[in-house]
Amino acid sequence: MGASCRRRQRLQDSTLPTPSLQERRVHQEELEIQQEQLLAAPPAPPDLGDALGALSRAYAGTGFGDDTADWEGVLSVDGINGFSNSALYGEINEQDFAELIFDLGLRPPAIIYDLGSGTGKLVNLAALIGFSATGIELEPGRHQRACTAARTLLRQVGDSLGGQPPRFLHTSFLEFDFSDADFVWANSIVFGPEMMEAVAKVARQMRPGSFVVTHKPLPGIGFELYREVDLRASWRPEGSVPFQVDLSSALV
């Protein structure tokens, strides 16, 4: 640095206000918070390509939105729910579902439930990418399809499965305690008001900060709207369907 540059530098330095001890402390604290946030940021989501490929092979022979229910099964679900057409079938695009979970910052082995898991694609995909995933389905044909696909997947991926095998329960979610969930999915388009009450009652016991995603809003207190999302669905090939992401806000 030449003499004139050094002089200019000294002049500039002397015109800069010296930060006070208080300001330096605040700055240091800000740096520490930034560092903590960086460390706490969840790792990047994995590439879903392999998992989606395995899923599509496991369901070969059934396409997007195919149903394996029979009429009797559908009627029995309606009967147990006490609500007509509550077993009508449709599926959410599995890639949109997985991307949503990662987008919310959830990472394996977070606990995920699908209330009314149908043929199990969402749960099977979630398990493939390492989540602890449970599907609850009352219609026997759909439940069986989910279990068969899970067995096929487990054979395909063998020991390379990231976490727990998928779990499928043939029961009603109206009677089920899913309150240990980090994320609950309820494709509730055809669910009746009493079904939504039953879901809300258990969801209210979930840890504050856990997520419930549903098409129909959860009734009552204990939830805070976090975000609205549009996901592709089998029954709307040209568009998407809105869902709301709620945070369980308090133990009430």
Ligand X SMILES: C[S@@+](CC[C@H](N)C(=O)[O-])C[C@H]1O[C@@H](n2cnc3c(N)ncnc32)[C@H](O)[C@@H]1O
User: What is the contact surface with ligand X in residues (CB under 6 A)?
Assistant: 77, 80-81, 86-87, 89-92, 114, 116-118, 122, 136-139, 142, 172-174, 187
Residues with Cβ within 8 Å of 68's Cβ and at least 6 positions away in sequence, in order, are 62, 119, 141, 142, 144, 145
Helix (H) or strand (E) holding 224: strand 223-233
The CB-of-23 to ligand X minimum distance in angstroms stands at 53
Q: How would you class 215 by CB atoms within 10 Å of its CB: exposed for 0-12, middle for 13-18, buried for 19 or more?
A: middle
The CB-of-88 to ligand X minimum distance in angstroms stands at 7
The residue (of 110 and 125) whose beta carbon lies closer to ligand X is 125
Nearest to 126 by CA among 143, 159, 102: 102
The CB-of-118 to ligand X minimum distance in angstroms stands at 3
Give the pair of three-digit tokens for residue 181.
Answer: 């969930």
The CB-of-101 to ligand X minimum distance in angstroms stands at 13
The residue (of 90 and 219) whose beta carbon lies closer to ligand X is 90
> How many whole angstroms separate alpha carbon 118 and alpha carbon 120?
5
Give the pair of three-digit tokens for residue 172.
Answer: 């009603």
The CB-of-103 to ligand X minimum distance in angstroms stands at 17
Residue nearest to ligand X (CB): 116
The residue (of 137 and 182) whose beta carbon lies closer to ligand X is 137
The residue (of 240 and 249) whose beta carbon lies closer to ligand X is 240
The residue (of 124 and 210) whose beta carbon lies closer to ligand X is 124
The residue (of 69 and 206) whose beta carbon lies closer to ligand X is 69
How many other C-beta atoms lie within 10 A of the C-beta of residue 63? 10
> How many whole angstroms separate alpha carbon 157 and alpha carbon 165?
11
The CB-of-169 to ligand X minimum distance in angstroms stands at 9
Helix (H) or strand (E) holding 23: helix 21-40
